[in-house]
Structure 1
Amino acid sequence: MKIIPILLVAILLLCVHIGIAQKQPVSYSVQGTIADSSTRKPLTFITVNLMKGPDTALKVDYSKADGFFSFTGLEAGSYWLVMAGVGYRTKRIPIELRDSLQKEVELGTVLLSPDIVGLQEVVVTAAKQIVKQEIDRISYNLQADPESKVVNVLEMMRKVPLLSLDGDNNILMKGNSDFKIFINGKPSSMMERNYKDILRSMPASSIERIDVITSPPAKYDAEGLAGIIDIITTKKLDNGYNGSINFSERFPVGGPGLGGSVSAKLGKFGVSAFGGASLYNNLPVRGGVQRVTTGEQPTNLLQEGTTGSKSRTSYLGYEMSYEIDAQNLLVAQFNLNGNQLTGNSLQTSLLTTSGVYQQGYTLENNRTGDGQGVDASLNYQRSFRADKNRLLTLSYRYLSYRDGQHSNLSITERMNYILPDYQQVNDQSFAEQTFQLDYVHPIKKHQIEAGIKGILRDNQSNFQYAVADSVTREYVIQPAISNRFKNTQNVFGAYATYQYSLKSWGVKAGLRIEETVIDADFISVDAKLQRTYFNLIPSVSVNRKLENSAGFTLSYTQRIQRPGINQLNPFVDRSNPNFERSGNPELRPALVNDIQVTYSRPAKAQLNIGLGFTFFRNLVFTVSVYDSATNITRTSYGNTGTAKLPSLYVNLSYSITKQWNLSANSRAAYGMVQGLVNSVLIKNSGLMYNVAVSTNYRLPKDWRLTANVQLNGPSINLQGNTNSLLATSLSINKDLIKDKLVLAGSVSNPFRTYRKYLSNTFGPDFEQTSFRWDYYRSFTASLNYKFGTLKETIKKSKRGIRNDDVLSGN
């Protein structure tokens, strides 16, 4: 598509031309020095608000060590300066900026009078807003939630609007497992490979907030059906340093974990880092599967056994920024992560026909796995002297990860079963390079943004299947069912967005063009597959502000589900001889249309309500087919169906008293799916819901008590469903040193030792139920310490690479 580069250049040239042709408005500035009225000494850290009205703050600054403050880039008009500091009376000064000959207003020395009170100590307490609704996202402030000091990030997800955890602790966004997870606004290899292990080892106390981007604008890649989850590890940093460290222990399931973050700024140079490591022990649990088939020769298969595993996970993220001058900024990022897994399972299998034993065996599987990931990025940002919000950004990013899986399977107690002992190995890797150019041009109440992007992806897999020789006991590779697979996926895109703000209205609309070129190569069998796709993706959001900061948001977006290596990899997992699982290299991208309307009201009772309707086409479903000739159920992926999903979510936070808070996060949706399975039309539907209720109470002497109840209804897919879930937890934490050192403990599901997990699957000629009894009761203890002091804000690039377009397949 040669038209794409031409269109991109035309968009950027148009934006630049508009900016050059636009007459620059008159820019004003205000500055002054704040001092004590009695001693005449300069006052530092006095907050200075530039107000347009009684309740409308346009900008905020604070006085430096010499008492100086300033505001620049102001339009003509009437303003108020409001100055406030602890121990001083608030002062209001009217400012008129209308004289074009006096663009700089010098206030000189402004004196503040001490506020004499009859108390030895004054404590100001304000409740932070936990949930915040913006035009295209919902933010959850973890620092405002006291339970963040005792649990990990994965467990906190159930409290975030539109997010929930299923019975296997997989995150669902709007009931969908297809989404992207960012770290500080950027994708990371640690979230591409196995997000559960990373988030489970990441203390929630090291996270500032979680943003749920429900309607990603056109500047984001079109992939990710449900949207984007952005985990912000640190807030804007100041001159100096700060950090936090958390140590935790969880038992009987789980283990020790250590994590934290640190940030520092010295002049124009700033750094921030976060990292952690954990051991996680899954004690052996009982489980299995029962399958009943119909047809000419009905069968009943029952498998039962135990499964346990141990894993080690570590991660490290690092970001560095350097302010070359007031208009030029460099930001570099580097992340590492890795994990190791060992596991063992032992199961018996018995196949019967009309009550007669046909086949049986005992299978032991000793498995190991390891993986590493790395990503690095470099961003150059150029702002303009006339308008600091006018930005040009050049970005480059490299990401790669590798996963290795090895299984050694031995079979004993055979009855009419001749398959020899065997081994299977699957080494798969993913590499990606991204080049991106973004331009942002604000024009008064308008903002135009455009950009071009190229993503070069390389997926590879080397899988081998080997059987033990009956005489030598050496393992011999079977070429017929082993293969090397390579898949390249190149995406070229361009976008343009327009944003407009007028009093109580805001509009953001955009259009994205993407061309996808796929080239698959089955190296061992000399077979190839080539495809090209072209997509035009619109998005629009309209926001209406009401009184008391309430507001409505209406949004529409179209998204793409572009399969990743886990769905494309043709490796056949034969670790259970009666159930095979593989990917499908012929998968095509799927489309989704999503419309939402939300209402938010921040008050004593913070309320967020949303209604949505989602329609999926060519959706990638898991497809299971039973083969009566081999008694094997084969599961793969296919673009086989459509789905409709009307939904409602409600999030409420209410302060009953100054000490007692109650919050609820709930969602309900009715899923309607249909698709072809083995040339037979399958339909499934049902109500899906989740409710998470949390309450916390602040006790005397800095103790806090928190209780949680979570109810998840059944999940619905094309060929089955899962059972519901009820979970409870109780936690308590104590500030040993105010806002510095916190000791916390919790118990999860104190009234139940085990939880039964059921997953039902049906097809044209079979029904099967997988079952498992998981350890449910657990105990956690943690110690969290914060340190450091900060003064001046560190700069970060406002634009960067965000590759949110590949389905992870977890």
Structure 2
Amino acid sequence: MSRYFLTLSIFVLCVCTSLNSQAQEKSFQLKGLIIDSLTQKPGEYFTIALKKDSTVIKTVVSDELGKFTLSAIKDGQYHLIIGSIGYQSKQISIQLSKDIDLGKIAMKPQGNDLNEVAIVASKPIIKQEPDRIVYDTQADPESKVLSVLDMMRKVPLLSVDADDNVKLKGTGNYRILINGKPSGVLTRDPKEYLRSMPANGVQKIEVITTPPSKYESEGLSGIINIITSKKVANGYNGNVNARMQQPFSPGLNANLTVKQGNFGANLYGGTGVWRVDGVKVTDIRNSRGDGPQSSLYSLGYQKTDNFWAWGGGELSYEIDSLNLITAEINPYGGYNQQDLGQRFDIKNDNDAIAYNMNSTTRYEWRGTDYTVNYQKGFKDKKEHLLTFSYKFFDNEEPQTNDVRFINFSDPNYRQDNISKSKEQTAQLDYINPFEKITVEAGVKAILRSGESNFQSLKFNEISNNYVLDPTQSNVYSNDQNIYGIYNTYTLKMKDWTFKAGARLEGTYVTGVFESTNSEVKTDYFNLIPSISFNRTLKNSQSVSLGFTQRIQRPGIWDLNPFVDRSRPNFEYVGNPDLEAVLSNNFELTYSNFKKGSLNVSLTYNFANNTQQRIFQYIEAENLTRITSLNIGKDKLLGSNINFNYPITPKWNLSLSGNLNYIWLEGMINGVLAKNSGVTGYASFNSSYKFEKAWKATISGNYGAPDVMLQGQSNNYYYLGFGGSKDIIKDKLTFSASVANPFQKFRAYKSYTEGANFTQERIRENYFRRVFCSLNWKFGKLEGSIKKNERSINNDDTKKSSN
């Protein structure tokens, strides 16, 4: 592995050097820092235009810190024009014959008069960085009314299918973080939490496609990072948001930020409800082959009641200018209860039975995350940092299945699964930027423990009570310890950047069954390389090439052997023998940023021994068993495109698309199963700012069917209209939106087939949704408070496959 890593590094370095030597024209760089002349705050999202003679040859937008950079400029005489809404424009004459740093550029707020030069800047919604795409949710008017789940429909490389499952580049193999850190509430079923999480509290969503070595190697397709933290400053401010959605889904969330001297605090909390009734659920299964023929048809209607609550606090104390301590606590809890009434019609050759069933499945989650960080700075440079972090995570996920039959001989039954998990993480990170090379290194230890106490009880009519079935009960514990070390080097020149690093990880897994006194052990080591190259071209263009390996480790819920029989004739069971999967990922990207932005990428991934969800029809028991096995070989060739353009200063258009061809294969009961096909999505979003603080948006997307080893889903689409109005400017805002107004329900279909069966599941989810919200901001802040540059990012386990 090390020889392969070294060879590839030398090859890419030679390519970089060759490309650099071919640049015959000498070019220079111009940069600066924009500040407000009165408040001295950074000038966010100012438009900077570089003009030669009478032609504007380059434009950029300052970032959140007020910084801007113009690269690949020939020597000569230029005029730099800077402007933004509410400020007097400024024009600076520049003779460029070397790299120039203009330092701080003070911009004066505009009075009633207008300058002779006017530049109007719209805050960019999408930004491309070397290894990620960033979607600025605060620049999207619909962020005031939509949930994070609905907002993800607009994010490049992300899509949300008809059953509300989030996909990254068309797949579900990714890791999702909040503020660069894992959260217990996202460990199993993230869509439930994201559906209740208001987008107005999210600053941006990052899609990291080529994660550097500092990140854990989990997530075959990449990482989704939801950034909620905002700048904290002297004084206080806060935000309260009340919202309502139809079907019934009220919600309330609030946050308060306080800063005084070297101490700062951010307190936040929220709650939400999602309640629907009358969701139609259909199951169809038919046997095939030469044996006895059987069929199953089930039709039911489901009522779902979800509740979430979360809260937390962040404390920050600057001991001095070089030493910073921060601490966080994040409790959360909630439940999902599904009440389902079904009718079953089952045929076995000439025998036919029919019966009704009522079932209740209740799944709960509760827990708390605790984090402490210490950051040590150095006097030589601001970016020279040493950070130590410790995180403790405690979580419970009890589940109860209660199944009751009508006109059927089988006894009623109940299942209880009390699942608990704990996690401790200690991490040390070091970064030192030299003149051209930045060095990063770190060590990390993750200690996980999980326990599942599951039991099955059958109703005994004689005793009129539920009796324990010991053959279907057990206590399973799982320990997973991971130790890692990484080192990354970033070399920056005028026109190109080269980043190379590696991460060495050792994983030790032990599973124990108490009832049978048996044990499962797995140990393995992985050396994970990560290489990326970026070449800056003329006219704000760039090309990037990246390669990295990623690991998919099975989560505790995939390893848990609990047999879930919440659906009669179907059972879900975990597999404690699952192994980690290693994926190889290549990505080539072209970017063009002028007035608008264009990003095009080509991706190729392949992996062996992949974890596949397998459906098996057991004829003797007349049931479908669903589990996960390491049997697959996956390949994906894909392309992604994103285009963002300000048609006018008030009207913006964004287009995004993804097209993949997937090859899947795996051995199921000694028979080779294969599937392949095209999948992907296309989306658009357009917003317009009217006079008097009105804003309007329209968005939509289309998703092709998902390709799975044993079948596929159906296609899906989404169409939304929204608007907002500032009732009190920058204080009180009313927002409203409607999604899919022309159709009340939308069917999510999943078709599966095996050697001896075909199966289809159809779930008609609510499709038409109406949203409204009221958002109130209060308080005033001055100055800023520091937060740790580094913290814990546990992104090393597979997300749930719901």
Which residue does 1:558 correspond to in 2? 549
User: Amino acid of the residue matched to residue 260 of structure 1?
Assistant: A
Give the deviation of 1:60 after TM superposition: 11
2:496 to 505, 510, 516: 505
* Structure-2 residue corresponding to 1:386: 380
What are the residue-to-residue correspondences of 1:779-790 with 2, within 5 Å?
779-790=770-781
Q: Which residue of 2 aligns with 1:807?
A: 798
Other-structure match for 1:576? 567
Give the unaligned 5+ runs of structure 1: 1-33, 36-41, 63-79, 99-105
* Counterpart in the other structure of 1:316: 311
Query: C-alpha distance in 2, partners of 1:777/1:567?
Result: 33
Superposition map of 1:117-136 within 5 A: 118=113, 125-136=120-131
CA distance in 1, matches of 2:108, 2:276: 63
In structure 1, how many angstroms separate the alpha carbons of the residues matched to 2:326 and 2:691? 45
Indicate the residue corresponding to 1:149 in structure 2.
144
Match for 1:340: what amino acid? Y
Secondary structure (helix, strand or coil) at the match of 2:397 reads strand
- Please report how far the alpha carbon of residue 383 of structure 1 lies from its aligned counterpart in structure 2 after TM superposition: 1.1
Change in CA separation of 1:133 and 1:201 when aligned onto 2, cut-off 3 Å = same
Q: Is the 8 A contact 2:333 2:366 kept in 1?
A: yes
Q: Structure 2 residue aligned with 1:428, among 388, 405, 419?
A: 419
Once the two structures are TM-superposed, the CA of residue 700 in structure 1 deviates from its matched residue by: 2.9
Distance 2:42 2:762 in 1: 59
Residue aligning to 1:339: 334
Distance across 1 between alignment mates of 2:42 and 2:297: 70
One-letter code aligned to 1:521: V
What residue is the counterpart of 2:664 in the other structure? 673
How big is each residue's C-alpha offset from its partner over 1:390-427, in whole Å with a ceiling of 9 and x where there is no partner?
A: 1111111111211111121111122xxx3211100111
Q: Which residue of 2 aligns with 1:545?
A: 536
Which residue does the alignment assign to 1:172? 167
Structure-to-structure mapping, 1:594-633, within 5 angstroms: 594-633=585-624
CA contact (8 A) 1:288 1:771 kept: yes
Structure 1 position 400 matched with structure 2 position 394: yes
Which residue of structure 1 lines up, in the alignment, with residue 76 of structure 2? none
Kindly tell me: are residues 60 and 167 of structure 1, through their superposed partners in 2, closer, same or farther at Cα, counting changes over 3 Å? closer
Distance change >3 Å, CA 400–CA 249, structure 1 → 2: same
Tell me the SS of whatever aligns to 1:186.
coil
- Taking a change above 3 Å as real, the CA distance of residues 551 and 764 of structure 1, as seen in their structure-2 partners, is same
User: What CA deviation, in whole Å up to 9, does each residue of 1:681-731 have, x standing for no partner?
Assistant: 000111101112122222332222222222111001111110001221211
- Residue 664 (1) aligns with residue 647 (2): no
| 1:372 aligned partner | 366
What amino acid sits opposite 1:651 in the alignment? N
Distance 1:780 1:227, change over 3 A: same
726, 751, 754: which is aligned to 2:717? 726
AA in 1 matched with 2:543: F
Pick closer, same or farther for the CA change 1:474–1:404 going to 2, 3 Å: same
Q: State how far apart, in whole Å, the 2-side matches of 1:350 and 1:118 are.
A: 78
Going from structure 1 to structure 2, the CA distance change for 1:548 and 1:319 (only over 3 Å counts) comes to: farther
Q: Report how many aligned residue pairs link the two structures.
A: 743
CA contact (8 A) 2:512 2:520 kept: yes
| Residue-by-residue CA offset, 1:160-186 (whole Å, 9 max, x unaligned) | 111110121111111221222222222
DSSP-derived class of the 1:216 partner: coil
Give 1:193 deviation, angstroms.
Answer: 3.9
Farther off after superposition, 281-290 or 190-199: 190-199
Unaligned runs of 5+ in 2: 1-34, 52-58, 67-78
SS in 2 for 1:575: coil
Question: What's the CA shift for 1:44?
Answer: 4.7
> Contact conserved, 1:262 with 1:274, CA < 8 A, in 2?
yes
2:9 is aligned to none
| CA distance in structure 1 between the aligned counterparts of 2:159 and 2:476, rounded to whole angstroms | 35
* 1:640 has 2:631 as partner: yes
Partner in structure 1 of residue 5 of structure 2: none
Distance 1:687 1:111, change over 3 A: closer
Match of 2:285 in 1: 291
**Is 1:280 matched up with 2:274?**
yes
Q: Distance in 1 between matches of 2:714 and 2:41?
A: 57
Residue aligning to 1:3:
none
Which digits, 9 at most, give the CA deviation of each residue in 1:474-531, with x for residues without a partner? 0011111111100000001111100110012111111000110010001111111111
CA contact 2:343–2:357 (8 Å) conserved in 1: yes
- Work out the CA distance in 1 between the residues paired with 2:784 and 2:163: 41
Aligned AA for 2:687? Answer: N
Cα pair distance change 1:601/1:730, threshold 3 Å: same
Larger Rg: 1
SS at match of 1:577: coil
- Length-normalised TM-score, structure 2: 0.87
Larger mean CA deviation between 732-741 and 616-625 belongs to 732-741
TM-superposed CA distance for 1:593, in Å, is 0.6
Farther off after superposition, 551-560 or 694-703: 694-703
Q: Which residue of 1 aligns with 2:357?
A: 363
Alignment-mate amino acid for residue 776 of structure 2 = Y
Query: Counterparts of 1:366 and 1:555 in 2: how far apart (Å)?
Result: 48
> Hey, what does 1:20 align to over in structure 2?
none
**What TM-score results when the alignment is normalised by the length of structure 1?**
0.86
User: Structure 2 counterpart of 1:226, which letter?
Assistant: S
Alpha-carbon contact 2:339-2:360 (below 8 Å) kept: yes
Return the letter of the residue paired with 1:808: K
Q: SS in structure 1 opposite 2:705?
A: coil
Equivalence for 2:515:
524
CA 1:122 to 1:737, structure 2 compared with 1: closer, same or farther past 3 Å? Answer: farther
- Equivalent residue of 2:149, what SS? helix
Q: Which amino acid aligns with 1:765?
A: N
Matched residue SS, 2:772 = strand
User: Is 1:210 the equivalent of 2:205?
Assistant: yes
SS in 2 for 1:187: coil
Is the 2:243–2:771 Cα contact (8 Å) retained in structure 1? Answer: yes
Is residue 241–residue 265 contact of structure 1 (8 Å, CA) maintained in 2?
yes
1:687 alignment counterpart? 678
Structure 2 residue aligned with 1:441, among 432, 439, 461? 432
Distance 1:81 1:734 in 2: 35
1:739 alignment partner in structure 2 = 730
Question: Matched residues in 2 for 1:566 and 1:181: separation?
Answer: 16
Whether the aligned pair in 2 keeps the contact of 1:671 and 1:686 (CA below 8 Å) is: yes
Q: Is the 8 A contact 1:89 1:114 kept in 2?
A: no
Q: Is the 8 A contact 1:689 1:712 kept in 2?
A: yes
Work out whether residues 619 and 641 of structure 1, in 8 Å CA contact, stay in contact via their aligned partners in 2: yes
Q: Conserved in 1, the CA contact under 8 Å of 2:375 and 2:385?
A: yes
SS in 2 for 1:222: coil
Q: Take 1:692 and 1:115, find their aligned partners in 2: how far apart are those partners?
A: 38
Contact conserved, 1:376 with 1:398, CA < 8 A, in 2?
yes
Q: Tell me if the contact between 1:408 and 1:422 (Cα under 8 Å) persists in the aligned partners.
A: yes
Give deviations 1:531-553, integer Å, cap 9, x for gaps.
10111100011111233433221
Deviation of 1:125 after TM superposition, in Å, equals 4.0
The answer for the alignment partner of 2:189 in structure 1 is 194
Deviates more, 1:526-535 or 1:540-549: 540-549
Q: Secondary structure at the match of 1:472?
A: coil
1:408-465 CA distance string (max 9 Å, x none): 1111122xxx321110011111211011111112221101111111110001101110
Q: 2:492 is matched by which residue type in structure 1?
A: S
Deviations 1:750-807 (A, max 9, x none): 1112112210011111110011222211211111222232222221111111110011
Q: Is the 8 A contact 1:541 1:553 kept in 2?
A: yes
What is the CA deviation profile of residues 15-50 of structure 1, one whole-angstrom value per residue up to 9, with x for unaligned ones? xxxxxxxxxxxxxxxxxxx99xxxxxx95538799x
Letter in structure 2 aligned against 1:304: L
Letter in structure 2 aligned against 1:636: T
1:303 paired with 2:298, answer yes
Q: What root-mean-square deviation, in Å, do the aligned CA atoms of Structure 1 and Structure 2 show?
A: 3.3
Query: What's the CA shift for 1:121?
Result: 14
